[in-house]
Amino acid sequence: MIKKILVASDGSKHAFRAAEKALEMTKQLGEGVSVTLCHIVSKPISRGELIHSKFDVKSLLENEAHQALIRIELLFRNENVPFNLHVAMGEAAEEIIQKANMENYDLVIVGSRGLNKLKELVIGSVSREVAHGAWCPVMIVK
Ligand SMILES: Nc1ncnc2c1ncn2[C@@H]1O[C@H](COP(=O)(O)OP(=O)(O)OP(=O)(O)O)[C@@H](O)[C@H]1O
Ligand SMILES: [Mg+2]
């Protein structure tokens, strides 16, 4: 039974499609399903950014996550589907896997590719690692 869905977004169009799929499934599954939208800030914060933000790391993270998730948040809000947000800092696949496994998610949904423009690979490293490391089923949306 699917009760907890984790959707990961790096702000790419692929991740948006993953979120559309998550929304569709959530509506089909009905009440009792909870969706968490997550973004992992992977790039290091620069000195300049730190000083500019007056060392407010929390706001820096929130701003970055907001950019990666805003379109998806609007999509869910427009359909009146509630969601949780999760933002963390670190290596994307590692953080997504840890969250999914430690909090007993039933399904993780990711895009097949992300922001990297290189097109040779069918799936990106984050989707591949999550598929390997998560204990629950992983849906990789093309
Ligand atoms: N920082 C992140 N936070 C949350 N989800 C992410 C993040 N990075 C990637 N993802 C998820 O993984 C999916 C695939 O992205 P991935 O990074 O694997 O591909 P890529 O950027 O094309 O290639 P690579 O990063 O391996 O060079 C995205 O659509 C998104 O669902
Ligand atoms: Mg990537």
Percent of all residues in the chain with a pLDDT value above 90, rounded to a whole number: 77
Burial of 118 (0-12, 13-18, 19+ CB in 10 A): exposed
Does residue 132 sit within a domain? no
Ligand 1 neighbour 22 (Cβ under 6 A): no
- Tell me: pLDDT of 103 over 90: yes
- Provide the number of structural domains found in the chain: 1
Does residue 29 sit within a domain? yes
Mean pLDDT of all residues belonging to the chain = 94
Q: How far is the CA of 48 from the centre of ligand 1 (A)?
A: 26
Q: How far is the CA of 124 from the centre of ligand 1 (A)?
A: 6
- Tell me: pLDDT of 138 over 80: yes
Q: Checking DSSP bridges between strand 84-89 and strand 34-41, what pairing results, if any?
A: parallel
Does residue 67 sit within a domain? yes
Q: Rounded distance, CA 130 to CA 94, Å?
A: 8
CATH of the domain at 106: 3.40.50.620
Ligand 1 neighbour 15 (Cβ under 6 A): yes
Does residue 40 sit within a domain? yes
Ligand 1 neighbour 17 (Cβ under 6 A): no
Does residue 129 sit within a domain? no
Ligand 1 neighbour 92 (Cβ under 6 A): yes
> In this predicted structure, what is the pLDDT of residue 62?
86
Ligand 1 neighbour 9 (Cβ under 6 A): yes
- Tell me: pLDDT of 142 over 80: yes
End-to-end CA distance of the chain: 24
> Domain range spanning residue 82?
4-111
- Tell me: pLDDT of 57 over 90: no
Lowest mean pLDDT among 23-27, 78-82, 113-117: 113-117
Does residue 19 sit within a domain? yes
